[in-house]
Structure 1
């Protein structure tokens, strides 16, 4: 096991190197130089807390789609919330299938809630990288989280959805704001808390955004005029990469068979869709070396085959992964139950300990890596906006994995022992952020 431990171990020096390189990549991106961080100006207005009205939020994530209708009756007050959620169809391979599904769900929501005779402003949270030309216009840069609809690349996603809405005669809803889930977490929390300066997602994927001084961005990065002193920058930190960064053989195996091979390398070390997968690969190797569970080698237990269901299986194993790392019983009885559900009916205590340690090593590294890029955002802002030290965070990994959160905070404390970064859950941030962004745009018009 010692070689496995070494593969996933990170020291403070390792983390400081990542922070330094992330800051370097951030600056390169802001100045239009070659960078693995896209550093996309979002044009999203930072809410004041005074916005009022009734708005719709459309939240397109890596797995689910949500539509939210929210009344803001008076400044700082959130009224009745109505919402629906559905699973995005993974068999969507064309623009018509993917964006048509969104338009049809939106029309159904509008008619179900008897909103067809009202003129409604909507915000769209689109959880994939776009190059924004304005707050309501952005071209898709690329997919992540298992999606790969090539004909959408380079197209304006607001226009793609609007065209589908027109096809089905849905004309009373106007999308006035385009953001991503990360920006949504910032905007949602900033409506209530003026100290929020960062928005972060730890879920199916991972990303971070922060408030940047507009004058720090080179002119060629800005596709339209921004008169605001500050602007929200979407870093797309999942793509962070530099030659000194060490990835182990399991990371390379995942990258090799992933749908977006060679990209989103940092995301593949952190996000929920990959944590279970990494653990499965490690256990599979230990089985082959006859360290544990070798009698199940010919069975599908901990299968590492990249088949059509493999993303779903990794998601399922992530939930088990979390339970495994949280088991504090003397005999690891919760781990035993999980193994029995997987078909392992005769596990030994030593095998259960190995499984728990593997899952813990993977999630600890994930939490530490997540803390490094968070600290990079904080240090970038500290020279011009030190009052904005709160990070609004959302995502299933942050919400549901107690060990991840523990190691994330541990990493933050390791890197920033004096200047504390406040972490606050921006619950439903991506969906509510879409609503608040529509309100903020309408308020400024």
Structure 2
């Protein structure tokens, strides 16, 4: 029975899979010696290196220029854009300080049609500018030049707080003439072309950084940001002495890991199944973001679909019938509805097999996510030279939020892998967008203070 054999082989491989992934990332990607980008494993160095365009380290470590500050004296109105999937959000965050800081937020979600996800970069950013104008018009703030933070959740080389060059598209996007270009400049160009409003783009960040910033506002022990949604990624606070391209050894800096690209140099070949290989071959970016294709929401449903199709073809479920509705890519939610719409009168065994496949796929994803997170927690613990780490992980993403068992399975496995770490998981509602506004608020205050000091000096 193929379902049973797949389930048992997957479950029995969990311990090996978890230890392999955790140890590989821990010893090669985050701590210890690191494989040089594009070096094929021959060159090595002691510190984390930033990504080179067109290549990556085992775990992509991109240096961020975000100062991790929890704002306490910030006040004012700040805009934020949050782009990281098929929808994007525009937010207005109001920070008031009447003895006790208060944060209020208004936001609206806008869709990105599929033809824009795969069209030209100009069309995409024109659409974003149009939606931003629509949002500001509705709130009656179109005549104000407000500071804005831009959450852009794709692999980038960040050179300044307000400058970020896209390395590669992921999560179904493939817009032309954007890779290698500064996304902030492209947004500014689209806004200038309209000419009906103006804004001050202060900062661009990744959604993981935004999530960590938001959670850090409520819990100052938050040192890790984690996203498990359409895609997956994480960031954490690293000691400056471990960052090769940053001057100085004192203090810490936020590192955007881009761990969705783990495995792109072949580290996960022993773990990837035929189903994950098939998904990769049919994707817009074959050979890229391999870890993301093993655990994120964009691909979990298709993994289940491919397993069920193979089982049906071999006569183990649905009386051996493969209906067209099942043969085409579906989301996990769609698959459950398909079972009722196929007209196959599925047997209790069919239903149990489908449930088991879904359980195995989601459990494996949760455990792989836990393994990579455990290695990051070890790194933080070792940095602090403490026997027991107490820290908080800020989490956001549709899979973590909406899957009924994913969070619990991931939590359990993290505690099992790092029993010497007391980890609190803090869910961040709208964390990535709110975090962009918070970074913008801090940066804007520092800019104003700097300008005032220059005026006083003159």
Tell me the residue number matched to 2:453. Answer: none
In structure 2, list runs of 5 or more residues that go unmatched. Answer: 37-46, 51-55, 448-458
Q: For 1:361 and 1:144, how far apart are their aligned partners in 2?
A: 25
Secondary structure of 1:167's partner?
helix
| Partners of 2:177 and 2:287 in 1: CA distance | 20
Is structure 2 residue 183 aligned with structure 1 residue 157?
yes
SS at match of 2:133: helix
Matched, 1:209 2:235: yes
Deviation string for 1:267-306 (max 9, x for gaps)? 0110011111000000000001100013532x223214xx
Q: Which residue of 1 aligns with 2:111?
A: 87
In structure 1, stretches of 5+ residues that fail to align are: 305-309, 325-337
Deviation string 1:102-131 (CA, Å, 9 cap, x unpaired) is 111111212221212323111000111110
Match of 1:38 among 52, 57, 60: 60
Structure 1 residue 345: Cα displacement? 4.6
| Structure 2 counterparts to residues 292-441 of structure 1, below 5 A | 292-297=317-322, 299-304=323-328, 310=329, 313-314=330-331, 318-319=332-333, 338-339=337-338, 341-385=340-384, 389-441=391-443
CA distance in 1, matches of 2:24, 2:427: 27
Aligned to 1:15: 18
CA contact (8 A) 1:204 1:396 kept: yes
Asked if 1:78 corresponds to 2:118, the answer is no
2:29 alignment partner in structure 1: 25
Per mean C-alpha deviation after superposition, the further-off stretch among 421-430 and 378-387 is 378-387
Moved more, 206-215 or 341-350: 341-350
Change (3 A) 1:112 1:193: same
Pick one of 137, 142, 145 that aligns with 1:119: 145
Q: How does 1:238-257 map to 2 (within 5 A)?
A: 238-241=260-263, 242=267, 245-257=270-282
1:191-233 deviations in Å (ceiling 9; x for gaps): 22101101111000000000111221112xx4xx689821111
Instruction: Indicate the residue corresponding to 1:334 in structure 2.
Output: none
CA distance in 1, matches of 2:244, 2:374: 23
Alignment check: 8 A CA contact 1:12 1:415 kept:
no
> What displacement does 1:246 show?
1.2
Query: Is the Cα contact below 8 Å between 2:92 and 2:107 reproduced in 1?
Result: yes
Contact 2:378–2:418 under 8 Å retained in 1: no
Aligned counterpart for 1:261 among listed residues 286, 289, 292: 286
Q: 1:434 to 1:374 in 2, by over 3 A?
A: same
Provide the rounded CA distance (Å) in 2 between the counterparts of 1:228 and 1:142: 32
Corresponding residue for 2:154? 128
CA shift, 1:60, in A, is 0.6
Q: Does the 8 A contact of 1:138 with 1:178 survive in 2?
A: yes
Match of 1:166 in 2: 192
Root-mean-square deviation over aligned CA pairs: 2.1
Contact 1:184 1:433 in 2 (8 A): yes
Match of 2:53 in 1: none
Residue 77 (structure 1) shift: 3.2
Secondary structure of the equivalent of 1:125?
strand
Q: How far apart are residue 339 of structure 1 and its match? A: 4.8
Q: CA offset at residue 396 of structure 1?
A: 0.6
2:81 corresponds to which residue? Answer: 58
